[in-house]
C-alpha cells in the first residue's frame, strides 16, 4: 500500500504544473520507446534542429542517466528554452529522481522564476532521497519567499514527518490544511490517513476519513491497511463493507488486505473470507501469486486447511511462500504428519527449499513429542543444505530438541552455534524457553549472566524468571533496562512488566505502566482485569472489562470473561451473576471449558446449584475437568447423591476419572462412613492407574482410618510405593483419632528414619493424639521438639491443642496461665479449648472466666453458649443455664443438632 502511494505521489509531483495536465494519454502512447526518442534527439543535435517543448518533456520522462538529462538541458537552452519554467522544473525533477539532489538544487537556484510546482519538485527530491532535515529547511525557505504551499506540498511534508516520526509537526500541517484548504483535496486527505496510521493514531485517521468530502478507493485502502497495522482486523472488514455501501468497487489491494484481516482473526472470520473470495471471482480480477497466497493464508488460518490444500493443488504457479502457508496450516490444526509429507513433496519437486519452510517443518516436528530420531534427521538435512548457521533455523532446532525432551542436545547445539551466528539473541531466547519448559530455572538463571544485547523477547523471558526465582529487586533492574533501551512501547514487554508487578502485589505500578502504553492488545487488558481481581479490586476489574470494549473495541475472549466472573463472585450481586451468565451463553462462551467451570463455581459459591447444574447441562463436557468441577461443588455442599449421580453419568459418557475425581469420591465415602464404598473407590483408582499417586493413596488411608479400619489403613500405607509427608501425616492422623499415641510415636520415628522432615501439620497431629490419650508429658516433648529441633513456629492450632491437652490432663492452672499469655489474634481458639477442658475437669470458676473472655471476642458463637450452659447445668445451676440458653436464643445463636450414621 505504501509503495503504491509513493508512486502516486511521485507522479503527481511530475505533473503538478497546470500546463502539463493538458497532455492527453495519446502523447504517452506516441513516445513510448526511449530508443526512438534518443535517435531523434541525436539527429536534432547534429542538424541543430529546434525541437518542441513537448518533445523535451517526453525525452526527460524516459531518461535513465544524468548525461541524457544534462544533454537535454543544454540543447533546450540553445533552442531558447533556458528560462522556460516548465522545462526547467522537469529537468530538476529528473535530476533528483536520479539521486543528484545537489545538481537539482543548483538548477533550482539558477531558475529566475519559481512557482509552487518547482518548489514541490525540489521538496519531493529531498524527501525521496532521505535528506529530511534539508527538506524541512527548504520548506522554511519556501515560506520565506511567500510561496503558499498547496495540497501536494503538504503531502510531501507529511511524508517527511512520517520518516521523522514527528507527530506534532504532522498535526500542525493537518491544522493548516483544515484552515486554508478545508481538506477538499482527496490526495491530501489520503496523505493524512497514511501519516496517522504510521504513527499509530488510528482514531485521527478515522476522523480524517469521515471529514473528507470525497473519498476514493485509495482512501479506503489506506484506512483498511491502518486498521491492520493497529491490530484491529474486524474494523478492516467493517471498512470494506462501508466502502461497498458508498458504491465503490474494491480493487485487488483492498481484497488482499481484507483476506489478511480474515487470516489474523481466524475461525470467526471464515464466512467473511468466503465472501471476499466470491468478490474476487465476481469482479474478475486476474489472480497473481500474491493474491492466491492471500487466499491460501485465509483458508489455512481460518481452519479450512483441506479447502486451502485443494486451492494449492490447483495453483499454476507456486513460490516458497505458498508451500510455507500450507505447511503452517497443517501445524495450526495439529496435523504434523500431513505437514511433514508436504515438506517431503516440496523437497522432491522444488529446486530450492527456503529457510522459512524448514522452520515451519521443524515446528511440525515439535508437535510430535519425544521424536528424537525425527529431529536428528531434520538436523542432518539442515546441515546438508547449508542452513546450519541460519539464525531462525538454529532457534527452531533448539526448540525442537526441547520438545523432544532432549535438553542436553539442545544445550550442546546452543553452545556450538552461539558464537557462530551473527545475532545470538534469538538462540538465547530459544534455549531459555527450553529451560522454562522443563523447569530448569537454575540453568536459565545461568544463561542470564551471558553478556548479550537483549531484545524484547529476552526481556519477557527474564521478567518471567524474576516472577519465579530472581525476585522483586532484579525485576526492577530489568524495568530500568527496558526504559534505557526504549522497550516500554513494546506491548509484550509492557504486559510482562504489568504481570511482574501484579505477581508481587504492586498493582499501582502495573496501573502506571498500563496507562502509559501507546497501544494495548487483548492480553494487556486481560492481565489488568485478572490482576485487579486477584489483588482485591473487583469493581475496577469490571470497569476495565467494559472499558476494553468501549475504548479499543476489543471483543472479550474466554480469559476476559473468566476475569469478570471472578470479580462478580467477590461482589455477590445476583443481577451481575445473571448478566454474566446470559452474556456467556449469548456470545458462545458456554462451550469454553474455562468459562464453564468458572460459572459453575460462581453459582455454587452463592448456593445456587440449580443454575450451576443448568450451566453444566449446557456445557460441552468433553474433558474430565468440567465433570470434576460439578462433582466437587456437590461434594462441598454435602449433596452426596449429586456426586454419585454425576459420577455415574460421567462413566456412561465414557470419561475416565482422574485423581481429582477419586479424591472427591473418597470425601463422599468419609461423609457416609461407608467401608463398602471406600473399597469400591479403591478398585476404581486401581483400574484407572491412580492408586500409586501419593495424594490418592493418602486420601484412601485417611478414609479407612475415619471408618475405624486402622489395620486396613496401615496395610494400604505399608504397600504404597510412593510416599510423601502427606502420606505419613494421614496415617498418624488415623492413630491420633483413635488415641493410639504409642503407634503414632513409632510411626513418627519411622518417618524421621526414612528421611522425611516433619511439617507443622505433623506436630499438630501428634499433639492431637496426645490430647486424645491425655499424655501431657509427651505433648510437651513434641512441642519442644517442634520449636527447638525443627525451628517451626507454632500456630494457633498447636497452642490451642496443647492448652486443651494440659486442661484435660489436670493441669488447668498451667493451661490458664498459657491462655492469658497468648496473643489476642489466637485468643478465641485457645480460650475455647481451655473452656472445653474446664468442663471435663469440673473447674467452674476458671470455665466462667474463660467464657467471659470468649463472649467478649465472639458474642454470637452458638457452640460456646451451649458449652457454658451445659457446664452450669452439670453443677446444678439450672436457673443460670436456662437464662443463658434463653439469651442465646434471642441473639439467634443456635447449635445444629448432632447426628450419626452407621452403615448396615
pLDDT in tens, 800-829: 777 777 777 777 777 777 777 766 655 666
The candidate with the shortest Cα–Cα distance to 327, out of 349, 310, 305, is 305
What pLDDT was estimated at residue 30? 34
**Could you tell me which residues come within 8 angstroms of residue 791 by beta carbon, excluding any fewer than 6 positions away?**
none
Q: How many CB atoms lie within 10 A of CB 293?
A: 20
pLDDT of residue 443: 80
pLDDT of residue 66: 60
SS3 369: coil
CB 871 within 8 A of CB 847: yes
Mean pLDDT of 639-647: 84
CB atoms within 10 A of CB 443: 16
Residues in Cβ contact with 877 at an 8 Å cutoff, skipping those fewer than 6 apart: none
Q: Residue 151: is its pLDDT beyond 80?
A: no
Residue 864 has pLDDT above 70, yes or no: no
Note the pLDDT tens digit of each residue in 523-550: 888 999 999 988 888 888 899 888 888 8
In this prediction, residue 28 carries a pLDDT of 35
pLDDT over 80 at 466, yes or no: yes
Query: For position 9, what pLDDT does the model report?
Result: 40
pLDDT at 44: 47
Tell me, what's the pLDDT at 858? 61
**What tens digit of pLDDT does each residue of 251-260 get?**
888 888 888 8
d(CA 464, CA 447): 14
Contact 433, 409 (CB under 8 A): no
Q: What is the pLDDT of residues 250-298, one digit of tens each?
A: 888 888 888 888 888 888 888 888 888 888 888 888 888 888 888 888 8
Least Cα distance to 665 among 651, 677, 650 occurs for 677
Q: What is the pLDDT of residue 132?
A: 67
The percentage of the chain sitting over the pLDDT mark of 70, rounded to a whole number, equals 79
Burial 99-120 (b: 16+ CB within 10 A, else e): ebbebbbebbeebeebebbbbb
More confident residue, 195 or 857: 195
Q: How confident is the model at residue 903 (pLDDT cuts 50, 70, 90)?
A: low
- HEC states along 836-892? HHHHHHCCHHHHHHHHHHHHHHCCCCHHHHHHHHHHHHHCCCHHHHHHHHHHHHHHC
State the pLDDT at residue 872. Answer: 67
Q: Of 232, 206, 230, which Cα lies nearest the Cα of 219? A: 206
Q: What angle do CA 264, 266, 271 make, to 5 degrees?
A: 115
Which three-class secondary structure string do you get for 539-574?
HHHHHHHHHHHHHCCCCCCHHHHHHHHHHHHHHCCH
Q: Give the contacts of 861 (CB within 8 A, at least 6 positions apart).
A: 854, 893
Segment 300-358, tens digit of pLDDT: 888 888 888 888 888 888 888 888 888 888 888 888 888 888 888 888 888 778 888 88
Q: What is the pLDDT of residue 27?
A: 37
The residue-averaged pLDDT of 353-365 equals 84
According to the model, what pLDDT value does residue 855 have? Answer: 64
Per residue in 841-854, pLDDT (tens digit) is 666 667 676 666 66
Closest C-alpha among 26, 39, 47, 25 to residue 68: 39
- Look at the pTM and tell me if it is higher than 0.75: no
As a whole number of angstroms, the distance between CA 698 and CA 726 comes to: 7
C-alpha dihedral sign at 348, 349, 354, 360 = negative
**Residue 161 near residue 169 (C-beta atoms within 8 A):** yes
Residue range 706-752, pLDDT digits in tens: 888 888 888 888 888 788 888 888 888 888 888 788 888 888 888 88
Give the pLDDT of residue 851: 67
Distances (CA, A) of 828 to 458, 796, 825: 51, 9, 7
Q: What is the dihedral of CA 583, 588, 591, 597, to 10 degrees?
A: -20
Q: What is the pLDDT at residue 804?
A: 75
pLDDT range class, residue 115, cuts 50, 70, 90: confident
DSSP 354: -
Q: Are 96 and 125 in contact (CB under 8 A)?
A: yes
Q: How far is CA 444 from CA 408, 435, 441, in A?
A: 13, 6, 5
**Buried b vs exposed e over 754-775: b needs ≥16 C-beta within 10 Å?**
eebebbeebbbbbbbbbbbbeb
pLDDT tens digit string along 511-527?
A: 988 888 877 888 888 99
Q: How many CB atoms lie within 10 A of CB 291?
A: 17
What is the structure's pLDDT at 186? 78
Q: What is the DSSP letter of 52?
A: P
What is the rounded average pLDDT for all residues in the chain?
77
The reported pLDDT for the residue numbered 51 is 59
**pLDDT given at position 416:** 81
pLDDT in tens, 774-798: 778 888 888 888 888 777 877 777 7
Give the pLDDT band (50/70/90) at residue 82: low
What's the grid cell of residue 348? 522432491
pLDDT at 35 over 50: no
pLDDT digits (tens, 9 = 90+) for 615-633: 888 887 777 888 888 888 8
197-227 pLDDT, tens digit per residue, is 777 777 777 788 887 778 888 888 888 888 8
Residue 894 pLDDT greater than 60, yes or no: no
Amino acid at each position: 500500500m505504501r509503495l503504491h502511494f509513493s508512486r502516486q505521489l511521485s507522479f503527481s509531483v511530475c505533473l503538478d504544473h497546470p500546463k502539463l495536465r493538458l497532455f492527453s494519454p495519446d502523447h504517452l502512447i506516441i513516445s513510448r520507446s526511449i530508443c526512438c526518442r534518443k535517435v531523434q534527439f541525436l539527429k536534432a543535435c547534429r542538424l541543430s534542429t529546434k525541437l518542441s517543448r513537448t518533445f523535451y518533456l517526453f525525452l526527460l520522462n524516459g531518461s535513465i542517466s544524468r548525461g541524457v538529462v544534462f544533454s537535454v538541458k543544454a540543447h533546450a537552452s540553445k533552442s531558447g528554452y533556458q528560462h522556460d519554467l516548465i522545462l526547467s522544473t522537469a529537468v530538476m525533477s529528473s535530476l533528483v529522481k536520479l539521486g543528484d539532489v545537489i545538481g537539482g538544487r543548483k538548477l533550482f537556484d539558477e531558475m529566475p522564476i519559481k512557482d509552487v510546482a518547482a518548489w514541490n519538485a525540489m521538496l519531493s527530491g529531498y524527501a525521496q532521497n532521505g535528506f529530511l532535515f534539508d527538506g524541512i529547511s527548504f520548506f522554511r525557505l519556501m515560506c520565506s519567499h511567500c510561496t503558499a504551499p498547496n495540497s501536494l506540498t503538504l503531502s510531501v511534508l507529511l511524508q517527511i514527518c512520517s520518516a521523522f516520526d514527528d507527530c506534532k509537526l504532522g498535526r500542525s500541517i493537518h491544522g493548516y490544511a483544515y484552515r486554508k484548504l478545508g481538506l477538499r483535496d482527496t490526495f491530501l486527505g489520503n496523505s493524512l490517513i497514511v501519516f496517522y496510521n504510521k504513527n499509530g493514531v488510528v482514531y485521527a485517521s478515522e476522523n480524517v476519513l469521515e471529514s473528507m468530502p470525497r473519498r476514493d478507493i485509495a482512501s479506503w485502502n489506506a484506512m483498511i491497511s491502518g486498521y491492520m497495522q493497529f491490530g484491529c482486523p474486524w474494523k478492516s472488514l467493517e471498512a470494506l463493507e462501508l466502502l461497498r455501501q458508498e458504491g465503490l468497487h474494491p480493487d485487488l489491494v483492498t481484497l488482499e488486505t481484507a483476506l489478511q484481516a480474515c487470516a489474523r482473526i481466524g475461525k470467526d472470520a471464515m464466512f467473511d473470507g468466503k465472501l471476499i473470495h466470491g468478490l474476487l471471482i465476481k469482479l474478475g480480477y486476474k489472480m497473481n501469486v500474491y493474491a492466491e497466497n492471500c487466499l491460501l493464508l485465509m483458508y489455512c488460518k481460518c481452519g479450512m486447511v483441506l479447502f486451502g490444500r485443494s486451492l494449492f493443488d490447483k495453483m499454476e504457479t507456486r513460490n516458497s511462500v505458498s508451500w510455507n502457508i500450507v505447511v503452517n496450516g497443517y501445524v495450526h490444526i495439529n496435523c504434523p504428519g500431513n505437514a511433514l509429507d508436504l515438506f517431503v513433496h516440496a523437497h522432491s519437486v522444488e529446486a530450492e527449499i527456503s529457510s522459512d519452510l524448514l522452520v515451519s517443518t521443524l515446528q511440525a516436528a515439535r508437535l510430535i513429542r519425544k521424536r528424537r530420531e525425527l529431529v536428528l534427521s531434520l538436523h542432518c538435512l539442515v546441515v546438508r543444505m547449508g542452513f546450519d548457521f541460519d539464525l531462525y533455523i538454529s532457534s527452531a532446532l533448539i526448540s525442537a530438541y526441547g520438545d523432544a525432551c532432549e535438553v542436553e542436545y539442545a544445550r550442546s547445539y546452543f553452545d556450538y552455534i552461539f558464537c557462530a551466528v551473527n545475532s545470538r539473541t534469538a538462540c538465547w531466547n530459544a534455549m531459555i524457553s527450553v529451560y522454562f519448559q522443563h523447569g530448569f530455572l537454575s540453568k536459565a538463571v545461568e544463561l542470564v549472566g551471558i553478556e548479550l544485547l537483549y531484545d524484547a523477547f529476552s526481556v519477557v523471558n527474564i521478567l518471567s524468571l524474576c516472577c519465579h526465582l530472581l525476585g522483586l529487586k532484579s525485576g526492577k533492574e530489568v524495568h530500568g533496562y527496558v526504559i534505557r533501551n526504549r522497550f516500554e512501547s513494546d506491548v509484550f514487554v509492557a504486559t510482562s512488566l504489568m504481570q511482574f508487578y501484579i505477581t508481587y502485589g504492586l498493582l499501582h505500578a502495573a496501573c502506571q505502566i498500563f496507562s502509559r502504553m501507546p497501544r494495548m492488545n487483548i492480553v494487556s487488558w486481560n492481565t489488568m482485569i485478572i490482576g485487579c481481581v486477584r489483588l482485591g479490586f473487583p469493581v475496577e476489574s469490571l470497569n476495565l472489562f467494559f472499558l476494553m470494549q468501549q475504548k479499543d473495541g476489543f471483543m472479550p475472549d474466554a480469559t476476559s470473561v473468566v476475569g469478570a466472573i471472578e470479580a462478580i463472585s467477590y461482589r455477590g450481586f445476583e443481577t451481575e451473576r445473571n448478566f454474566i451468565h446470559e452474556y456467556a451463553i449469548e456470545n458462545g462462551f458456554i462451550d469454553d471449558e474455562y468459562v464453564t467451570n468458572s460459572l459453575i463455581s460462581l453459582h455454587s459459591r452463592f448456593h445456587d446449584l440449580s443454575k450451576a447444574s443448568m450451566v453444566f447441562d449446557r456445557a460441552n463436557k468433553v474433558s474430565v475437568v468440567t465433570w470434576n468441577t460439578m462433582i466437587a461443588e456437590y461434594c462441598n455442599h454435602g449433596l452426596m447423591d449429586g456426586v454419585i449421580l454425576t459420577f455415574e453419568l460421567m462413566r456412561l459418557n465414557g470419561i475416565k476419572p482422574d485423581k481429582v475425581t477419586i479424591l472427591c469420591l473418597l470425601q463422599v465415602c468419609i461423609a457416609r462412613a461407608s467401608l463398602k464404598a471406600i473399597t469400591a473407590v479403591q478398585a476404581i483408582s486401581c483400574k484407572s492407574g491412580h492408586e500409586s499417586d501419593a495424594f490418592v493413596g493418602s486420601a484412601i488411608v485417611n478414609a479407612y482410618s475415619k471408618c475405624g479400619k486402622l489395620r486396613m489403613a496401615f496395610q494400604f500405607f505399608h504397600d504404597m510405593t510412593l510416599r510423601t509427608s502427606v502420606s505419613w501425616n494421614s496415617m498418624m492422623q488415623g492413630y491420633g483419632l483413635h488415641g493410639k499415641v504409642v503407634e503414632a510415636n513409632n510411626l513418627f520415628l519411622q518417618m524421621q528414619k526414612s528421611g522425611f522432615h516433619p511439617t507443622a501439620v505433623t506436630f499438630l497431629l501428634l499433639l492431637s493424639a496426645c490430647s486424645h490419650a491425655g499424655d501431657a508429658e509427651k505433648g510437651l516433648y513434641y512441642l519442644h521438639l517442634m520449636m527447638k529441633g525443627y525451628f517451626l513456629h507454632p500456630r494457633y492450632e498447636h497452642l490451642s491443642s496443647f492448652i486443651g491437652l494440659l486442661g484435660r490432663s489436670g493441669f488447668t492452672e498451667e493451661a490458664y496461665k498459657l491462655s492469658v499469655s497468648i496473643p489476642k489474634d489466637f485468643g478465641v481458639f485457645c480460650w475455647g479449648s481451655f473452656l472445653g477442658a474446664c468442663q471435663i475437669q469440673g473447674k467452674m470458676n476458671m470455665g466462667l472466666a474463660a467464657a467471659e473472655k470468649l463472649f467478649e471476642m465472639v458474642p454470637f458463637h452458638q457452640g460456646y453458649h451451649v458449652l457454658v450452659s451445659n457446664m452450669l447445668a452439670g453443677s446444678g445451676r439450672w436457673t443460670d443455664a436456662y437464662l443463658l440458653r434463653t439469651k442465646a436464643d434471642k441473639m439467634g445463636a443456635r447449635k445444629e443438632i448432632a447426628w450419626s450414621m452407621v452403615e448396615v
